[in-house]
Structure 1
Amino acid sequence: MTLDPTIDADAYLARIGADRPRGTTRADLAALHAAHPRAVPFEDYDIHLGVPLSLDPDRLFDKIVTRRRGGFCYELNGLFAILLRELGFDVTLCSAFEVGPDGGRGPDFEHLRLLVRTDDGPFLADVGNGASWTEPVPLEPGTHGGTQVHRDGELWWAFRRTHEGHWEREWGWTLRPRELAEFLPRCRYQENDPRSHFVNRRLAALATANGRISVVNGVLKQTEGDRQTERTLDPEEERAVLADRFGIDLGGREWKTGS
């Protein structure tokens, strides 16, 4: 599997509502990054419909661009990396993992994060992080808006500021280059293992102009600044919200009982 296939970049750009960038600057990357999580939902409904996931670039393009669905980190960041390379950016796929307070590391390939080298320096990109990252983050220790970046040797990790204003520990990663195929075994775990968060939680999330909207196990949550509202949806309402607010058409298929 390779990250160098030719894709229809113009169709992808139309999908996210972004113009073709003129170059490979920080501003060019930021415009693409901001548009993506507002247009393409972070979602895992195929897992709950029993539809096998694929990291094949052609199938990712068909799902996300042609059929206008979303996906989770391996799918969204995997395809975004292909687009960025098509547009001239230098992109490295990085394996991300949990880091405990004592520095202990969880399994590799738990999350896919991108390192993008622009004309203005290296930045982290992540359009598959639950619609919580809406802009690239400098690969530099320090506080960058709502993200804190830390480094200890080869180990990098981050904290994210929640809408309540608290700092919450996020992913760790190294800069070792990876290939998309290396993430496939962990993708299979995420979609099939009973211990997987995704098996136990159906969800969809989009960034908005001032916050985020999500459906998690039938609970609709909307965040605007520091204000959050939520309400429980019945299955019919959930389907309607998925279609109307997230553009997710399940085609009349039922998710598995208990999901």
Structure 2
Amino acid sequence: MDVQAYLSRIGFAGPAEEPSLEVLRSVHKCHQLSVPFENLTVHSGGLVQLDLPLLYDKIVNQRRGGFCFENNGLFSWLLCKLGFRVTLLSGQVKNLITGRYGPPQDHLVVMVSLNGRRWLCDVGFGAAGFTVPLSLDVTGPQELGHRVYRIRENVGMSYLEWQQEENRGQDGDWMEIYKFTLKPRCLEDFAEMCQYHQSSPSSIFFCKSLCTLLKPGGRLTYIGHKLISTTFPSEGTGAELETTTKELKDEEIPGILAELFGVVLKSPLVPKDEAITPPPVMY
């Protein structure tokens, strides 16, 4: 890895000689603002392989993005190179259709241990992700802009939950995002689920071509034949998110991806936005 090339790719310009919470928070947010969460390889005739040199070439040299196994897998390598103590964790995402959780190794997340404290890092969860690391040592709400997160534990399992601006508060409506254990994993543990998400009609990544990127004050999302622009409300206003949707023609999509997301594909994209089949096995 060329660490400086990676830091330049994500727009990080500060000093990073020593691992610190300030550096961790900064590179986490820079990654979110620079590297898309996308699955376009799946829909342009390619195959995602969990090999770190390949992920580095794709995300840094080709200036692409990826889904959780790619973004968090490569990000964990960067953190190791910067001197952080890193542990890969296995998560299970809650299915919005069935209300059940996905199988083990459904999601890859990263834990960083720093000065006696533990931090949850995740630069590979798209629109529901958090901009800076969350503390694993805090049980109460953690406010990040227009959202509030909390991590609760139950019988050896940790649960990540969130609230939107309009119902925030300890007694508000909490929505479960995913659950995870603190058992250390390695990147190879996720190979089977990486293949599953590229081939299963029960996976959003197989059923929909998508690309989303955090922007200052909002988010841009491409999915199928739509471009969705989201503007976040100002903190403390209680306002709701503002969302606009634009329908796209096939010939417009490559230009949109290049101009707004910085993504240039080597092979033609086949746009896709199909219904997701509920998985037969529930967890």
Contact persistence 1:124–1:136 (CA under 8 A):
yes
Q: Could you tell me how far apart the structure 1 residues matched to 2:201 and 2:268 are?
A: 21
Query: Is it true that 1:246 corresponds to 2:261 in the alignment?
Result: yes
* Aligned residue identity for 2:51: D
CA shift, 1:258, in A, is 6.8
4+ runs of 1 displaced by more than 6 Å?
A: 256-259
Query: Is it true that 1:214 corresponds to 2:221 in the alignment?
Result: yes
Q: Could you tell me how far apart the structure 1 residues matched to 2:174 and 2:23 are?
A: 28
Q: Could you tell me how far apart the structure 1 residues matched to 2:70 and 2:272 are?
A: 25
Q: Could you tell me how far apart the structure 1 residues matched to 2:249 and 2:52 are?
A: 35
CA shift, 1:12, in A, is 0.4
Q: 1:85-104 counterparts in 2 under 5 A?
A: 85-98=80-93
1:3 equivalent in structure 2: none
CA shift, 1:168, in A, is 2.7
Of 9, 19, 23, 2:18 maps to 23
Distance 1:120 1:228, change over 3 A: farther
Q: 1:49-64 counterparts in 2 under 5 A?
A: 49-64=44-59
* Aligned residue identity for 1:248: V
Query: Is it true that 1:135 corresponds to 2:132 in the alignment?
Result: yes
Query: Is it true that 1:125 corresponds to 2:121 in the alignment?
Result: yes
Q: Could you tell me how far apart the structure 1 residues matched to 2:261 and 2:165 are?
A: 21
* Aligned residue identity for 1:147: Y
* Aligned residue identity for 1:239: P
CA shift, 1:169, in A, is 1.6
Query: Is it true that 1:224 corresponds to 2:220 in the alignment?
Result: no
Distance 1:119 1:258, change over 3 A: closer
1:12 equivalent in structure 2: 6
Contact persistence 1:49–1:255 (CA under 8 A):
yes
* Greater Cα shift, 32-41 or 159-168: 159-168
Q: What TM-score do you get using the length of structure 1 for normalisation? A: 0.90
Of 236, 241, 245, 2:251 maps to 236
CA shift, 1:161, in A, is 2.8
- Percent of aligned pairs sharing the same letter: 35
SS of 1:183 mapped into structure 2: helix
* Greater Cα shift, 173-182 or 193-202: 193-202
Superposed CA deviations along residues 148-203 of structure 1, whole A, max 9, x for unmatched, are: 21111311011123466564320100000000000000000001122221110111
* Greater Cα shift, 112-121 or 45-54: 112-121
Of 141, 158, 167, 1:156 maps to 158
Q: Could you tell me how far apart the structure 2 residues matched to 1:249 and 1:220 are?
A: 17
2:236 equivalent in structure 1: none
Contact persistence 2:44–2:267 (CA under 8 A):
no
1:185 equivalent in structure 2: 192
RMSD of aligned C-alpha atoms? Answer: 2.2
SS of 1:122 mapped into structure 2: strand
Q: Which runs of 5+ in 2 are unaligned?
A: 168-172, 233-240, 275-283
Q: Which runs of 5+ in 1 are unaligned?
A: 1-6
